[in-house]
Structure formats: C-alpha cells, structure tokens
Chain A
Amino acid sequence: MSASAKPKFAMYWAASCGGCEIAVLNTHEKILDVDANFEVVFWPVAMDAKYKDVEAMPDRSILLTLFNGGIRTTENAELAHLMRQKSQILVAFGSCACEGCIPGLANLSNKQALFDTVYNSPSTTNSQETRPQPETAVPEGTLKIPYFYPVLKTLDQVVDVDYYIPGCPPESHQISAVIDLVIQVVQGKALLPAKGATIGAGESTVCDECPRQRNIKAIKKFTRIQELKVVDPALCLLEQGIPCNGPATRSGCGALCPQAGAQCIGCYGPAAGVIDYGARLMTAFASVIDSTDPQEIDAILDGLVDPAGQFYRFNLASSLLRASRSAWKSQ
C-alpha cells in the first residue's frame, strides 16, 4: 500500500498540557500500527507541519483527527473549526477537549484575576504591569496574538464532535483498543459506534471497578487524605471520610487511584447518564453525612475546604453553569 493511499490521521492540541500526546506515545509498539495503517499528516507535537498545509488540504480529507485541549483562545477556536472542516471523524480526545479539565478550572475566576495571577504574582518581575494585548503597534507594523476568551469552552461547545475519549490522560490500554477498532473499521471488519458515543471507557462508575469494601456510609467528618495518619487499605475511602469522586466518575481506568491508596479525583468525567457531574457528587456526599442538625452539618461540610474544586475539578467548563458569574461578566 503506497503512503498516499493510506487514510490520513491528525492530532492537535489546544489548551492542554501535552499529557494526551504522551499517553498516545505510551501505547508503545501500538504506535507502529498507527504508522502502518495511517498517513500522519498533521501532529504538531510529533512532526513539523504548518497551519497553511492543513488549510490547503481538501475538506474531509483527513479520516481521523484526535483533538485534545479546551478552547481558550481564538487560535484554539480557529483550529477547532479547521480540523472539523478537514476531518471526517473528529474526536474530543482527553478530559480537556471533552469537559475542560484543569484549564477549565480557570472559569472560576475572571479574566483580570487570571492575568494578575500570571503577570503580577510575587514571583514575577513586571514593574510596568505589562499585559499581553491582541494587537501591538511596533515600528515594523502591527503584531497580533490570539485573543484570550474570558470563559474556556469545551470542543463540542465550539464545533460538532463525533466521539469522546475521556480521561486525564486517557489510559494507554484504552487508546490501544480504540486504535484497534479504528483499524478494523478502515479494513471493513467493524462498524463505527453511534455518533456522539463515548469510547475508550466504560459506562458505569469508578466505584464499580473499585475492589475496596463498601458497607453503610455514614460520615461524621471529611478529612483530606494527606491529613490522615492511617488509611484503611481495604475499606471504601468515602466511608473513611476521604472525599472520593468515584460515585460519579466514569469507569474505564480500572480504579487505579483508589487501588493505589489515593482518592478518585474524577479525571474520566461523568458516568453515562450524568447531566451535571458536580450535582451528582453533591447528592452522593450529602447523602452520606450522618447528621440531621444544620449546625453539625455545617461543621462536617467545613471539612470540604473547596467544594467547587472538589466537585468540578475536571468538569467545570462542561457543567450546567460552565463558569463563575464574574468569569461570564468579564471580557
């Protein structure tokens, strides 16, 4: 099979950390299957290519694009539209593209507070309080950089998305399974799942995959795991008062964190059927508090030092409210 006859593959990163690309490379020799079955035409982290090269490609000429990262700037949005236009299958790859992830936590703050943190923190020398401007006049002409949106968006809030692969990052064995599936589809041996499906993950919750013992949950105190001297290795973490996000988080990782003695932080996003991830967790956490007295409940809730961060660590940008009031109102 000549190189040009192979279906084309692209991967792009927007507002993300690069961990998703590492996860893809972490499939080890499976990456050779990608090379054997696809022509990689655009993958900024792995090969040299320019945006204009992609613009020159015929529409829908790329079979599969894995898009990771949220939409933070106008550049991210432009590339999202470009990859949608050039791709037959556009996949929101990883938590950032699916639900905003850690970059989406910036939606708790307004744009001015974000810029103050980055450009005016005590560790930053910026005596003239310089801020990046979308346009700057210099003797040679006008310099332009992308505009920073006040509210980070997920990929599907900007363009139409075909499939979702959750995880921060997606587990390599799940990526391998998806690669195998796509190759089988290309070879005519399998059918694509229904549009809009979440692939490379389960439908249930992390609790379902967690081997820890669960009894009746009744909590008198929430404690952060780092403040505990002893953690029972066999008992459900939530029952020990450790805020664990397993009850709302999609299965697929194999409950890696709880098995390693750490609480689930929710990187696989909402389980199937969950509309608002944080709301599901609020339901779960409120249900296990063992008190009927408002003052005592408040004292127990004081143990949850950062409820929004706990409930929306990965999911804020795709929650029902998406961003704080001040983030929405900033420009």
Chain B
Amino acid sequence: MNTDTFEPVIIGFTCNWCSYRAADLAGTARVKYPPNVRLIRMMCSGRLDPTFVLKAIAGGADGILITGCHPGECHYLEQNYKALRRFQLLRRTLAQMGIRPERLKLVWASAAEGVKLAEEITCFIEEIRALGPLDWPALTGERIPVASGFISAEEGGR
C-alpha cells in the first residue's frame, strides 16, 4: 500500500436545512476543502438509512460522514437524535465486521457554520488517509483477494 498516492473516497450525507447549506456557504465564501468528499443531500439526517452507509462501503468508500442539525435544532424536531442513535449502533456493528469505527463520523453543523464544516471535512479526510484504504472486496463481486496474513487484515480488535 502506498499512502502517498492514496486519495480517500468519502461519502458525506448532509441535511437540507443545515449542513448542506453550510457546505453551500463554504462554497459561496470560497472556503476550501479537499475534493475527496462526495456530498449527498437528504431532507434530514433522520432520513439516513444505515443501508446507505453499508452500500457506500460495499461500493468502495473509505469513510462515511454523517452531518445534521445541532441537538435541539432539528427542522423536524428530533430526527437528528435518531441519526445519532443509528450512528452509534452502526459503529458497533461495523467494528464486528472488522471496520474501524473511526471510518464513520458524525458532525453537527448549522447553516451558518460553513467554515466549521469545511474544517471538519478536511480533518476527517486526513484521518481516513492515515487509516489507509478500506478497499471493500465485495466491490468487485466475486473477487477473492490473494493477499496473505489473516490477522493483519483485521482492523483493530474484535
């Protein structure tokens, strides 16, 4: 693995009412963040089905960013708390699948926090770059990797 040339692929889920607008604000204000993140807009972080996260991983993502309104500020009253609970449950399940929980990150960002969101995205990309590629094998269907070393393939303890 050559980390010098590894560019992480991050899928970022954003809320229409806050973090998507924060990203928009960052763009308007010409705040820079690396292009590794692909932002997807949803109406609410509560719309985040864990299926989306699993599909992103199976499709080759190295990290997943979930963003939403600050606690108490959800446009739909309390759906961001559901996102929080799904996030915490997903992290536990993914750890059992040999995926480091750090590959899943939750960030609260209001529509005014374009700079903060850009900083968080930049920081997360560097964290994932340090972790290296996830390279989920299901990506290529029937491929069975020939790499040796059973234990070293495991990320973190189980």
Contact = CB atoms under 8 A, between A and B. Distances in A.
Interface in B108-158: 134, 136-138, 142, 144-151, 153-155
Given A321-B58, A326-B98, A328-B136, A286 B51 contact: no
B150 A289 contact: no
A286 B145 CA distance: 34
Interface residues of A, number: 45
Contacts of B154: 110, 324-326
Contacts of A286: 82, 85-86, 88-89
Contacts of B90: 282
A297 B137 contact: no
B73 interface: no
A276 B93 CA distance: 13
B34 interface: no
Nearest to A151: B144
Given A276-B50, A279-B51, A331-B145, A307 B96 contact: yes
Given A276-B50, A297-B84, A320 B93 contact: no
Per DSSP, chain A at the interface is helix
A144 interface: no
A252 interface: no
Contact of B144 (A307, A309, A331): A331
A184 interface: no
A120 to B, nearest CB: 14
For the complex of A and B, 5 pairs with smallest distance between CB atoms:
A329-B153, A325-B98, A308-B96, A286-B85, A279-B50
Interface of B: 49-51, 53-55, 57-58, 71, 78, 81-82, 84-86, 88-90, 92-93, 96-99, 134, 136-138, 142, 144-151, 153-155
11 contacts: A151-B144, A275-B51, A283-B86, A285-B89, A286-B86, A292-B71, A292-B81, A297-B88, A301-B89, A330-B150, A331-B148
